[in-house]
Amino acid sequence: MTRMYQAYRDIYFTARDGLRLYGRHYPAAFHDGTERRPVLCLAGLTRNGRDFHVIAEALSQHAEAPRDVYTLDARGRGLSENDPDWRNYTVPFETTDVLDFMTVTGTTGAAVIGTSRGGLIAMVMAALQPRSLGPVVLNDIGPVIEQKGLGRISAYVGRIPLPRSWKEAGTLVHDMGRRAFPGISAEEWEDVARQWFNEYKGRPAPGYDPALSNALSVLDGPIPELWPQFEALKRVPVLVLRGALSDILSDETVEEMRRRHPALSSFVVPGQGHAPLLRDTETIDVVARFLAATESAERHPRLAYG
């Protein structure tokens, strides 16, 4: 029997409070003697590491500069265990899990790709333990979160019906996302559905703990601006990806981020909203070039990454 190729290996580890968490390691396709920084991918509020499967494969299998890529399912998401206390679904608590994961995998100092909440965690990591991470890609997130987008997210967390089939799941996520992602095909939406939902006995299963809605319900008013946490990233290069149709990250916030950060670059992902799916070749190439440029600048200190 021919065995299917799997581009990653599963990682299970126990958090310091005993919760069983899940991650993946996409090993570099080959090693040519060049030292390349690994990448750690952190997902959004209700999402999980499967969101990064396409870009993780692309970076780890890169024809010229492959690198190790890791993903992590936050507690209560994907294949990580649900927390019996929903009050632990917070950015500071989840930051601790990320730091523990980096210790377990030996990836302290890795580059971080943070989508939405994952980007907030990266900013907090930079403030708490500056040496814990290298260059950062912030995927449609910044120190200021637009209230309109936050309200939209709050409206669906814990309220999405469970589809009865994968075809129905594809239709559901298409209906939810077609305004923000008008160029995504129906076939691709079913692939995205398999990122959103877990699978049980061949059918869609909940992809996150519905109790996450409790964590959101305690928020009263807009989230405080996180400029001090963002400015902790000044010691590393930062790439900001903004969906052209985003309702979470504004152009004005990106401009202010650029003004405050000496080594920040940005890219607008055309035809996508919050948060860019990191599945298209152009965006993946932008990320790959950014990672390569930061390493080139480190090897040649007189060169500044801009």
What's the predicted TM-score (pTM) here? 0.94
Phi, psi of 137, deg, nearest 5: -110, 115
State residue 156's pLDDT score: 85
Strand pairing partners for 42?
Answer: 72, 114
Instruction: Note down pLDDT in tens along the chain; length 306 residues.
Output: 444 568 999 999 999 999 999 999 999 999 888 889 999 999 999 999 999 999 999 999 999 999 999 999 999 999 999 999 999 999 999 999 999 999 999 999 999 999 999 999 999 999 999 999 999 999 999 999 998 898 888 888 888 899 999 999 999 999 999 999 999 988 899 999 999 999 999 999 999 999 999 887 644 556 789 999 999 999 999 999 999 999 999 999 999 999 999 899 999 999 999 999 999 999 999 999 999 999 987 765 444 433
Got the DSSP string for 244-285? Answer: TT-SSS-HHHHHHHHHH-TTEEEEEETT--SS--S-SHHHHH
Query: Which is nearest to 132 in space by CA: 118, 111, 104?
Result: 111
Q: Which residue has the tokens 């967390």?
A: 157
Length of the chain: 306
3-class SS of residue 152 = helix
3-class SS of residue 25 = strand
Query: Domains in the chain and their CATH numbers?
Result: 9-159+225-299 (3.40.50.1820)
